[in-house]
Every structure is written in C-alpha cells, then in structure tokens.
Structure 1
Amino acid sequence: MKRFLPDEAATATLAARFQAFLSAGLVVFLHGPLGAGKTAFVRGVLRAAGYAGAVKSPTYTLVEEYRLNDGDYTIFHFDLYRLTDPEELEFMGIRDYFGPRSVCFIEWPERGAGVLPPADLDLTLAMQGPGRELRMTASTPAGRVLLQSIDK
C-alpha cells in the first residue's frame, strides 16, 4: 500500500489512523534516509494515543519507552542508526522489549539483522519534493489486518 504525504500534518493524520488499529505485540520496521520522517510518523502515533510529552529520535539512547495511560501496551521506539554491531542489542537485553504488551517501532532495522525478530509491518518513507511517499508492507497476518483496516 502506498500513500503520498504532502506535509507533516498529513503524516500525523495517517499515523493517527495507524494508531487506531494498532494491537499489542506488533513489530514495525521503519526504513528511509535521514530526515525522511520516520520519527515524525512515530510522534504522530504517540500523539494519537494520547501521549503529550516530548517525542525525540532515540539516535543516542537507542530506545525510548512510552507508557500510555490506557495501559494496553507500551510503545518502544528504537533508532539503530549508530549501532556498529548487532550483538550490541544482545547486551542491552533487546529480547525483553518484544512481547505481548508492547509495540516496537524500529528505525534502521537492517543494523540489527540477525538479532531482531521479524517485522509485522515494514514502512518505507521516501522524500518527494516537500512531501513523502510512504510504502507499507505487511509480513504477517497481524500486519495484514492492520493495513486492511487502514485502507477501509
């Protein structure tokens, strides 16, 4: 599924629709160059979920945790851009983040190849002038359900 997002407001609108159909346990990979809007998309999801605090790229921290008021799940936002070896993820206890009460958004997932679980969804953002093209691909039944729900 492809969508053209002319500006950050359109990104936030689609992210809010995405959030409405999120379910605990999902793993979402975010692909795209620096500045493509990966963090802006996650910020849109978090705002739609009612999170009002600061949302920044976890480039230096590797992961940011967002506990939501409804308590259904915790969102973990990873940025693996600065990772030099996938084994570093093992040292930080990466497997503890993935479970039935979490949703994990992972930027630069190729840097964690061989350690990360498979994605339910792959979101690829590409710059097109001032806007972005977002391509969403589902790899699991849970991912397909989410994409079908968004498309209705």
Structure 2
Amino acid sequence: MTQTQLSLFLHDEAATVAVGQKLGTVMAEGGVIFLTGTLGAGKTTLTRGVLKSFGHTGAVKSPTYTLVEPYDFSADQQGAGQKVYHFDLYRLADPEELEYMGIREYFDGRALCIVEWPNKGEGFLPVADITLSLSPKNEGRTLELHAGSAKGHAALKKLNVSG
C-alpha cells in the first residue's frame, strides 16, 4: 500500500526541528513542500529542521517581506550543491506577483522549495510533493503530512519507517 498520509504529535520545538531534519533527509534530492497552519504554528521552526539536515547552522527567519530566502549549500556542507528556497507568501497581495519575480525558475525540479502560505500563490505554484499542516494541540502541535506525488509518497513511506 502506498503511504499517502501521516499524522504526528510534536511535543515541543525540539520535536518539530527533529521532524524537519528527517523530512530534509528524505527530500534531499529536491521537491516541493507546502506548509500550512496559523501564525505561530511552527512552520518556520520545521523549516529550520529541514535546513539543519543540509548542514545549515545559522538563524532561520521567515521571509515575510522578501517572499523568498535562498540557501545554497556548498560542497563542504552536508547538502553539497543543493539549493533550498524558503518562501513565505503571507503578505502576497496578488498571486500574479509571483510571475513577476520569476517563480518558475525556482521550481526547477532539482531545488527543494518550501512554501509557507501556499494558498496565497494558488494558480502560480506547482503541485506539492508533500503538504504539511501544523496545528496547536495541548502543549504541542499536530502535524499532518499528505503526499501529492510519487516523490511525496516515497518520502512519507521513508518518514514512517524511520519515524
């Protein structure tokens, strides 16, 4: 059976970062990840974990005003040669703005593109390999992962086995 959905409870920030690291490992060859959830749900925290899996050690901020934050991992880092683009479309007024910024160039099939607030770019974004939904629950948060492609199905299967 193909893995299409996975649900996890994350107790704290460390658990959110750890899941992000696992996700980065299984998506190391690139792809598209959509992150949904309310403000403060942990989308950027999870992204920090993904970036950590590629060797990033610096701060990770949500690119709310710049729309995209590029990360290019050089040969001396874990994610040798991989490009990761972190998008935050929260302040996007019109999805057509994405066309003006050359959005299609980012989604080249090799880079890993992580998109917060993907609903704001509807019609201009490709189909996500994985859509993640974070929601507060008790002292932690619930993470729902849904596969939207064969690559996403394979990633969820690996996450479930290693998870």
> For 1:31 and 1:95, how far apart are their aligned partners in 2?
21
Of 34, 52, 73, the residue aligned with 1:47 is 52
Match of 2:117 among 89, 101, 108: 108
Equivalent-residue separation in structure 2 for 1:17 and 1:72 (angstroms): 19
Cα RMSD for the two superposed structures: 1.1
Q: What runs of 5+ residues in structure 2 fail to find an aligned partner?
A: 1-5
Counterpart-to-counterpart distance in 2, 1:27 and 1:131:
25
Counterpart CA distance in 2 for 1:82 and 1:130 is 28
Is contact 1:125-1:132 (8 Å) kept? Answer: yes
Taking the TM superposition and a 5 Å limit, the aligned residue runs for 1:81-92 are 81-92=90-101
Q: TM-score, normalised by structure 1?
A: 0.96
Deviating more after overlay: 44-53 vs 80-89: 44-53
Q: CA deviation at 1:130?
A: 2.2
| Corresponding pairs, count | 152
Q: Which ranges of structure 1 fall in alignment gaps of 5 or more residues?
A: none
Per-residue deviation, 1:81: 0.3
Q: Structure 1 residue 12: deviation in Å?
A: 1.3
Aligned with 1:111: secondary structure? helix
Q: Map 1:1-152 onto structure 2 (within 5 A).
A: 1-69=6-74, 70-152=79-161
2-structure distance, mates of 1:54, 1:13: 16
